[in-house]
């Protein structure tokens, strides 16, 4: 009897998907609204407030421009070729599979890519991005603005200061080759992922200027232009984010560079060792 029950039982993951579809059906929402499939030579999108944390699927699209101007739970992108894709903040993961010759800008908690080639991605990712069985993948720092974007980051549970865009892990490295690289420092986002021009989508007031980007631009793992560096720590408070933005703006104004920025919690057990080691390094450097 147990064997018969196992044979008749759907996999747990498939069962969850079916329940979500049923819930959306009862709510009067067409599941196809959260999907772009089989597009060719089209420009499409979703406006702020229309996805509202749901999962989204993009598949079998060719030579199309796709813009999701809202936060979502997760996005899967399968079998897309020569597409331009913008994805607002994702609470979970984005997963590219079997895609080629696409240009993307996106923000997510987790980034996964498998069996892809010739992709260029401007990325904000809270955890280490992972590629597998992929080649000629190029990464740059997320650089985008529209009025609703900061709120969408908050709704997705993402911090604009946690971005590991350049710290890529390749599950399938090839000896003597590099499957991924960083885009040129002077790469212009607009040249890769242009602002949409359709009547519906151009109503979203988008800017790709670096000084307006919701996510601060960081140098990441690019080679430093100077051996000098410093660490700045801002403690949590009512104006921490505003003060951090002011500091970053001032750094940029003086033509200095942000290598990396982090938003993290430190507990008592970790604070003292952190600062003790830091002070010892300073004393050794200054020979005090």
Quick one: tokens of 165? 């865009």
92 is in an annotated binding site: yes
Residue 219: pLDDT band (50, 70, 90) is confident
157 is in an annotated binding site: no
- Number of Cβ atoms within 10 Å of the Cβ of 281: 11
Beta bridge partners of 90: 72, 108
269 is in an annotated binding site: no
User: Rounded mean pLDDT of the chain?
Assistant: 85
Per-residue model confidence as pLDDT tens digits over 57-71? 999 999 999 999 999
Question: CA 274, CA 69: separation in Å to the nearest integer?
Answer: 39
- Number of Cβ atoms within 10 Å of the Cβ of 243: 12
Question: CA 9, CA 232: separation in Å to the nearest integer?
Answer: 55
Sheet strands (E) in 60-179: 65-68, 75-78, 84-97, 103-114, 117-125, 130-132, 135-141, 169-170
Question: CA 171, CA 73: separation in Å to the nearest integer?
Answer: 25
109 is in an annotated binding site: yes
* pTM of the full structure: 0.80
Phi and psi torsions of 76, nearest 5°: -115, 135
Residue 35 and residue 55 in contact, taking contact as beta carbons nearer than 8 Å: no
Per-residue model confidence as pLDDT tens digits over 95-153? 999 999 999 999 999 999 999 999 999 999 999 999 999 999 999 999 999 999 999 99
111 is in an annotated binding site: yes
Burial call 86-121: b when 16+ CB within 10 Å, e when fewer? bbbbbbebbbbbbbbbbbbbbbbbbbbbbbbebbbb
Residue 185: pLDDT band (50, 70, 90) is confident
Give the pLDDT confidence score for residue 148 in this predicted structure: 97
93 is in an annotated binding site: yes
Give the residue extent of every domain in the chain: 38-221, 224-288
| CATH of region 38-221 | 2.160.20.70
Residue that the structure tokens 């549970």 belong to: 157
């Amino acid at each position: 009897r147990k064997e018969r029950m196992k044979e008749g039982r759907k996999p747990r993951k498939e069962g969850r998907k079916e329940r979500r579809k049923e819930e959306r059906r009862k709510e009067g929402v067409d599941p196809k609204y959260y999907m772009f499939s089989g597009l060719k030579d089209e420009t499409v999108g979703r406006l702020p407030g229309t996805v509202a944390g749901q999962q989204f699927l993009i598949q079998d699209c060719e030579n199309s421009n796709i813009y999701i101007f809202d936060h979502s739970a997760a996005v899967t992108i399968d079998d897309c070729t020569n597409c331009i894709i913008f994805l607002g903040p994702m609470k979970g993961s984005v997963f590219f599979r079997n895609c080629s010759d696409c240009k993307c800008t996106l923000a997510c908690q987790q980034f996964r890519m498998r069996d892809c080639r010739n992709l260029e991605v401007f990325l904000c990712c809270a955890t280490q991005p992972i590629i597998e069985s992929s080649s000629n993948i190029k990464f740059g720092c997320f650089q985008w603005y529209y009025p609703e974007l900061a709120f969408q980051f908050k709704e997705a549970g993402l911090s604009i200061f946690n971005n590991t865009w350049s710290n890529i892990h390749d599950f399938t490295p090839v000896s003597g080759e590099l499957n991924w690289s960083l885009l040129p420092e002077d790469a212009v986002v607009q040249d890769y992922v242009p602002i949409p021009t359709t009547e519906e989508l151009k109503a979203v007031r988008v800017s790709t200027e670096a000084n307006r980007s919701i996510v601060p631009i960081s140098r990441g793992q690019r080679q430093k232009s100077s051996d000098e560096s410093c660490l700045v720590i801002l403690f949590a408070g009512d104006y921490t984010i505003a003060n951090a933005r002011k500091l970053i703006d001032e750094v940029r104004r003086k033509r200095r560079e942000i290598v990396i920025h982090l938003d993290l919690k430190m507990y008592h057990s970790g604070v003292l060792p952190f600062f003790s080691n830091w002070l010892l390094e300073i004393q050794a450097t200054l020979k005090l």
